[in-house]
Structure 1
Amino acid sequence: MSGAGGTTAARLLIRAGGDIPVDTPRVPAREAAKHELSKPMYHENDPNLLQRGLDRLWDWIGDLLNTASGAAPGGPLGLVVLVLVVIGLVAALWWRLGTPHRTARSADTLFFDDSPRSAAEHRAAAEAHACAHRWNEAVQERMRAIVRSLEERALLTPRPGRTADEAAAEAGRPLPAHATRLHAAAREFDDVTYGGRTADQQAYLAVRALDLDLETAKPLLTPAAQGAAE
C-alpha cells in the first residue's frame, strides 16, 4: 500500500502480458478483500444466530442489573432485598385474592345440568360424595339442593343461569333470618367451583345444616320484610 495526495492505493503486482504491474485502487481492493473474507472457510467457528441472540440478551440483562444495582439503595444487596419484597407482595396478593379462575365463571351452567333433578336427588348425591370424603362435590350438590328446594316451595322462581350469589340474595328476602348463612353458602360454592379452593367436612356440614333449617323455615312475604332484607 502507498499514499499519494491523501489517496491510498493497494498495489497488486500481477504479471500479465508483458509483466506490466497493475495498480488496484483502494475501493476495488477493499471490495475484493470483503469478497474473499466472506467465504465460508473464514466463518466456520463463528457463533450461530441463536448463540448471538443469547449473548446479546445476557449482555442486556447484565447491563440492566448493573444499572438497577447502582440506582437501588445499598447497591446489589439493596436490589436483592427489593426483589424479595416484590415477590413477597405478589405472593400475598395471590393468596389473598385466590386464583384467577373465579372470574372465568359460566353463569348458564352454574347450578344444574341438562337433566334437572329434584332437591331430594341433589341431597342424596351430596351425601354420597360426603361418605366418600369428596367435600367439594358434596358442597356443590348441597347448594344445588338448597336452590332446588326453594324453587319447589315457590320461594324462588326457576330461572336458568342463576348464580349462587343471586340465589342467596333472592332467597334472603323471604328468609331474612337466614340471609347471612345463605350468602356464606354461596361464597363456599363459588370458592370450590371457581376459586380453586378445597372444601372440608366442616364446610359441608355448615351447608347441610342450612339446608335442613331452610326446610322448616317460614318465609316472610310482606313488602316491609322484603325491604328490610334488601
Structure 2
Amino acid sequence: MTAVRAAALLASPVDAGRDEAAREAARELSGAGYQHEPLFDRLQREISQFLGDLLSGGGTGEGGVMSLVLLVVLLAVLAVLLLWALRRFSGSRRTESGAVFGQRERTAAEHRAEAERLAAEGGWAGAIQERLRAIARELEERAVVSPMPGRTADELAEVAGQALPPHAAGLRAAARLFDDVTYGGAGGTREGYLTLTALDERLRSARTGAAA
C-alpha cells in the first residue's frame, strides 16, 4: 500500500505543496516495503519513472532541458559500451577461429623448440602448427612483416610473400598445410613437417642474406 499512498501524495492538491508531497513520497518509497527490492527492479523502476516524467511534460523548462541532455549522454555512453563489447567479441572470435597464434605468446625459438619436441614424439599435427608459428614469429621478429593480432595463416602467406616473392609459393603451401591439420581435421605427416622445416631454414637464410 505504500506505493499507492506515495502516488496519492504526489497527486494531492497544491495546498500541500508539490515539494512537500515529493518529500513525503520519497519517505514512503524508502520505507520497509522497498528496502528489500531487488537492485535490477529498482533500477528499472527509476528509469521508467524518469522517462515517464520526461515524456509527460517534465521536459519543459530548464530542468527538462537538463534531463534531456542527461538522457542523450546516457544513450551515447550505452552505445559506446555496446560497440566496445561487440569489438571485443569479434576480436576473440577471430583469435579462436583461424588465427596462427594462440593465447600464449612465445618467441620464434620457443615455437621451434616445441615443434621439434612434438616431432620427436610423433605428434606431427602439433609439430606442423608450431613450426608455422615459428616461421610467423621469426618474420615478425626480423621485421619482415608487422605484428598483427589475429592474423591467419593465409594472411601471413600473402603479406610475407609480397615481402619475399621467391618464397611466396612455399608460404601459401605452408598456410594450406597449417589450415588442414588445424581446422580441416587432417592428420599431420612427417613429410609435411619436413616441408615446413625446410621452408623455415630457407626463410631464415633469405632474410640474413637480404640484411647483409
Query: Normalising by the residue count of structure 1, what TM-score does the alignment of the two structures yield?
Result: 0.48
Describe the superposition over 1:145-176 as per-residue Cα deviations: whole angstroms up to 9, x where unpaired.
00000000011111111000000000001110
Describe the superposition over 1:43-89 as per-residue Cα deviations: whole angstroms up to 9, x where unpaired.
xxxxxxxxxxxxxxxxxxxxxxxxxxxxxxxxxxxxxxxxxxxxxxx
Aligned residue number for residue 36 of structure 2? none
> In terms of mean alpha carbon deviation, does 160-169 or 209-218 score higher?
209-218
Q: Which amino acid aligns with 2:160?
A: A
Query: 1:212 and 1:157 mapped to 2: Cα distance?
Result: 20
**2:119 is aligned with 1:134:** no
**2:131 is aligned with 1:170:** no
Partner residue of 2:95 out of 96, 108, 128: 108
Alpha carbons 1:174, 1:220 under 8 Å: kept: no
Matches within 5 A, 1:86-101: none
Q: Whose strand fraction is larger, Structure 1's or Structure 2's?
A: 1
1:112 CA drift (Å) = 2.0
Alpha carbons 1:174, 1:219 under 8 Å: kept: no
**2:175 is aligned with 1:195:** no
The alignment partner of 1:207 has SS state of helix
Query: Normalising by the residue count of structure 2, what TM-score does the alignment of the two structures yield?
Result: 0.52
1:219 CA drift (Å) = 8.7
Identity %: 52
The alignment partner of 2:163 has SS state of coil
Alignment RMSD (CA, Å): 1.8
Aligned residue number for residue 124 of structure 1? 113
Aligned residue number for residue 40 of structure 2? none
1:213 CA drift (Å) = 0.8
Query: 1:115 and 1:218 mapped to 2: Cα distance?
Result: 26
Matches within 5 A, 1:1-230: 107-109=94-96, 110-218=99-207
- Computing the radius of gyration from Cα coordinates, the structure with the larger value is 1
Query: 2:200 and 2:137 mapped to 1: Cα distance?
Result: 11
Cα 1:220–1:131, aligned 2, differ >3 Å: closer, same or farther?
Answer: closer
Q: Whose helix fraction is larger, Structure 1's or Structure 2's?
A: 2
- Once superposed, which parts of structure 1, at least 4 consecutive aligned residues long, lie more than 4 Å away? none
The alignment partner of 2:199 has SS state of helix
**Unmatched 5+ stretches in structure 2:** 1-92
Aligned residues: 116
**Unmatched 5+ stretches in structure 1:** 1-105, 222-230
Describe the superposition over 1:117-140 as per-residue Cα deviations: whole angstroms up to 9, x where unpaired.
000000000000000000000000
Describe the superposition over 1:79-117 as per-residue Cα deviations: whole angstroms up to 9, x where unpaired.
xxxxxxxxxxxxxxxxxxxxxxxxxxx531422233210
Q: Which amino acid aligns with 1:188?
A: L
